[in-house]
Amino acid sequence: MSSNSNTSPVLAGPPGDCCVQGVKHFGDPVGKVIKIADIETYVSEPPTDTTGPKKVVLFFADVFGPFYVNAQLLQDYFASNGFYVLGIDYFFGDPISRHTDEPNWDRDAWFAKSRKAATEETPKWIKAVREIYGSDAKYSAVGYCFGGPFALEIATTDDVVAAAFAHPAFLNEDHFRNLKKPLLLSCAEVDQTFPSESRRRAEDILAEHKAIYHVQVFSGVSHGFATRGDPNLDQPRWAKEESARSVINWFKRFSGSSW
């Protein structure tokens, strides 16, 4: 899937300890699980029929996967704003949460295996989604942590109208240099995976290439805030909710929705 050079300077490194920490949220997901291109997919649909071309969000989850309740609730929120939201299980039933309590677990091996499978299988899933929802639909893509490069790589094509990420991993300069579509960067003040110097370098590249972009940085939160922030604390809760609002408003802007 990647069209980016292996020699391009790294801006967002591999996930670390911060990527497997966070707070589990509580709620009642309303989506369903179906198979698209033989890959299990979380699907959350708008509460009412929409007029005109469908608006579709491709949801690239963090290491907990699209079926983790936090991710399900986030996808349901996007759907409540008039979007069809599709979360690919590119971990194939093996999210990181299955292993976090295992002694002597080889996390690096899990990442290598998961990245290989996700990179190989995601393109056919995207193709199948487009066949189901149609070429006239307005597609957007959002990636969290592990999902960041998938959102950015599809934004180097004409398959989406806009993209967004929050606290990404596995990014290099070419991801930003090759961007063709508008990008929202939702960032944490403290992020060892995508530190402030990398964020500023990404901004410089986007500005040099006259990209359409918006950067938001939330103080008082760290990597993972957008999917695993503590809803019982004021700042993490506000940052998590404001990030989600910003993502969906970004997509509304470029998909022709009123907002």
Task: List, by residue number, the catalytic residues.
Answer: 145, 191, 223
C-alpha gyration radius of the chain? 17
Query: 69 φ, ψ to 5°?
Result: -55, -35
C-alpha 59/C-alpha 92 separation (Å) is 15
Query: Cα separations (Å) of 128 from 42, 138, 233, 251?
Result: 14, 15, 40, 21
